[in-house]
Structure 1
Amino acid sequence: MSTLLLNVSLEPPPGTATPPRCQSALRHQRFLKRRRFLERRRLLKEKQLPPRSAAPRKDKRPASREPQEQPCVPPVPPTQTGAVAWVTPAARGKGAAARTLPSEEELLSEFAAGSDAGVARDLAKVVAVDCEMVGTGPHGRCNSLARCSVVSYHGDVLYDRYVRPPCPIVDYRTCWSGIRKKHMANAVPFQAARKEILKLLAGKVVIGHAVHNDFKALHYSHPRSLTRDTSRIPLLNRRAGFPEREAISLKRLTKQLLHRDIQTGSQGHSSVEDARATMDLYKVVEDEWEEVLRRTPQTD
């Protein structure tokens, strides 16, 4: 008699789909990974956080050797504005402004890229401002805005206009301000200019040198957490070889660190030139200074 041999293969044929049980386990692993990332960002509500560890209960039933499937978590439906409910919480209180938070896609893309929270910033929301003042009031001792310039992170001019003060000008201070009587012929009235400028500054990180003087001329108070005053950054003074607590002029810092000469000649200062120099000085210590501010948050 001849021997009959049978070749039996137990492997699934090629192209067979992954069993549903394996697909469910993979989806659950991805869900847990994303949830841990969102927990670190503190963007989950209390009821969405995993339950706190409690004392294990004694179960008389014998434990099954087979792994049990985890229940699927239903997706959270998006709101009318397209934001996910558990990512963008609603504003509390009547009239409260809702804070804009990153979308789910942005968070997950940041998670996939492995970037640290808060490192990446929107450079479109970083501007530098410089104002030139003239003297008004008794003996011209009051500072009044006569020109304002706002530049972007890359030095592009966003705003540069001459401003007509509400009070008569007593001293043009031309050798410092560069303002002359002819500049007031087509100058923008103070209130109109102020409205335009504040629209540019609102919600942005504002760089300036002794910037409190600029805000005072604008009759404006900017959030401290969004203000970067290059006259009060010890790292800049240290880089330039000056005492850390000493207020150094913009001209000296620019010469020492950027090797540029500004505020020269008899024509007076240029607010555009000064704003660009201020932004460039900030960039010298930007990463280090922002890290310092992250460790010691500023209160408004």
Structure 2
Amino acid sequence: MSDITMNLCFSGDPSTSGSNARKLSGTQLKNMEQQNGIVGHKFTRRQKQRKTKPTSDASSSQRSKAEALIRAHMDKHIKKHEEASEEHQFRKNNSFTKHPSCQTSSHHQPSLSVTAGAGVPSKFLAIDCEMVGTGPKGCVSQLARCSVVTYEGDVVYDKFIKPSMPVTNYRTRWSGIRPCDLSNATPFHQARKEVLKLLMGKVVVGHAVHNDFKVLQYSHPPAMTRDTSRIPLLNEKAGFNKRQCVALKKLTKAIFNRDIQAGCRGHSSVEDARATMELYKVVEDEWEKTLASGQPVGSGGS
């Protein structure tokens, strides 16, 4: 093979090619071409890697975003569960309950849990109702809120109820009911069915409970009714006359030294129902023994 000459400039400047030129044989040139080919191959591979690197970075970024979304979703559910648990514990341990319209959820789905214990406490429910006035000058009482709690004080029903007649007096000072509370309230006939379904077969505890039954248009069996406003045993423990019909607020203060129905926002039917159940527990053993023996206890079981 004939020799092929080539000028190789070591400095990279064409102007110096004369002084720094070097003659290469065909074999040397071929070797250089092979080396250059290898170098070119390596260079091409590096270029491909550089091109694919952004794609890899994009995939990594997408994975990171997906993982962050999953973590945020899990954290949200964990936080929601913890808040629900804390709210349930607070309601169980405290007798005071906010007005339904001030709570996150104003309606509690009716559900009764069976609880083991002396006297089969799952058989007992306490009820309290708030009324508004309808008719001329608001003289006709109609149901506007009903709350039912278990023996342990857990809420199983608490709803605003829309009266069947136009409200002419909200009695907010006592009832705690405002016009906005009844705008989307449960219709009376629907609420009545829900409440009566809960009370069926239960021992119902209430304070002057005949008033609650009246606005529900309902009559509960006397043997299954416990009215804390008509039990001499309770009045005795509170220091009142046996025959006196004492207000729930006074009995609660006298026995537990706790204020209820305080402030200007009106009564809370949940708070009143819980207080009634607690009063019943104070005389439960004596009251039930007296009823079982057939001895008179004032108006006792009716």
Give the structure-1-normalised TM-score: 0.59
Deviation at 1:120, TM superposition (A): 5.2
Deviation by residue 1:48-107 (Cα, 9 ceiling, x = unmatched): xxxxxxxxxxxxxxxxxxxxxxxxxxxxxxxxxxxxxxxxxxxxxxxxxxxxxxxxxxxx
Query: Which residue in the other structure is 1:289 paired with?
Result: 287
Using the alignment, how far apart are the partners of 2:128 and 2:265 within structure 1?
Answer: 17
Query: Which residue in the other structure is 2:218 paired with?
Result: 220
Query: Which residue in the other structure is 2:197 paired with?
Result: 199
Counterparts of residues 59-138 of structure 1 (less than 5 Å):
121-138=119-136
1:169 aligns with 2:167: yes
Deviation by residue 1:254-295 (Cα, 9 ceiling, x = unmatched): 000011100000000000000000000000000000001001
Using the alignment, how far apart are the partners of 1:139 and 1:210 within structure 2?
Answer: 24
- Equivalent residue of 2:229, what SS? helix
Q: Which one-letter code corresponds to 1:172 in the other structure? A: Y
Q: Which one-letter code corresponds to 1:196 in the other structure? A: E
Using the alignment, how far apart are the partners of 2:290 and 2:254 within structure 1?
Answer: 23
Change (3 A) 1:207 1:192: same
> Does structure 1 retain, via aligned residues, the 8 Å contact 2:159–2:186?
yes
Change (3 A) 1:279 1:210: same
Identity %: 63
- Equivalent residue of 1:281, what SS? helix
Change (3 A) 1:154 1:299: closer
Using the alignment, how far apart are the partners of 1:259 and 1:186 within structure 2?
Answer: 37
Give the structure-2-normalised TM-score: 0.59
Query: Which residue in the other structure is 1:54 paired with?
Result: none
Change (3 A) 1:254 1:189: same
- Equivalent residue of 2:244, what SS? coil
Using the alignment, how far apart are the partners of 2:235 and 2:265 within structure 1?
Answer: 28
Query: Which residue in the other structure is 1:268 paired with?
Result: 266
1:186 aligns with 2:184: yes
Q: Which one-letter code corresponds to 1:233 in the other structure? A: I
Deviation at 1:121, TM superposition (A): 3.0
1:233 paired residue among 222, 227, 231: 231
Deviation at 1:158, TM superposition (A): 0.4
Using the alignment, how far apart are the partners of 2:271 and 2:285 within structure 1?
Answer: 23
Q: In structure 1, list runs of 5 or more residues that go unmatched.
A: 1-118
Using the alignment, how far apart are the partners of 1:121 and 1:277 within structure 2?
Answer: 19
Using the alignment, how far apart are the partners of 1:233 and 1:256 within structure 2?
Answer: 15
Query: Which residue in the other structure is 2:143 paired with?
Result: 145
- Equivalent residue of 1:232, what SS? coil
Using the alignment, how far apart are the partners of 2:285 and 2:189 within structure 1?
Answer: 36
- Equivalent residue of 1:219, what SS? coil
Deviation at 1:299, TM superposition (A): 8.7
Using the alignment, how far apart are the partners of 1:120 and 1:230 within structure 2?
Answer: 20
Change (3 A) 1:280 1:120: closer
Using the alignment, how far apart are the partners of 2:269 and 2:212 within structure 1?
Answer: 11
Q: Which has the larger radius of gyration?
A: 2
Q: In structure 2, list runs of 5 or more residues that go unmatched.
A: 1-116
- Equivalent residue of 1:257, what SS? helix
Deviation at 1:122, TM superposition (A): 2.1
Deviation by residue 1:161-196 (Cα, 9 ceiling, x = unmatched): 000000000000000000000001120000000000
Query: Which residue in the other structure is 2:33 paired with?
Result: none
Change (3 A) 1:190 1:176: same
Query: Which residue in the other structure is 2:158 paired with?
Result: 160
Query: Which residue in the other structure is 2:250 paired with?
Result: 252
Using the alignment, how far apart are the partners of 2:247 and 2:223 within structure 1?
Answer: 23
Using the alignment, how far apart are the partners of 1:240 and 1:121 within structure 2?
Answer: 24
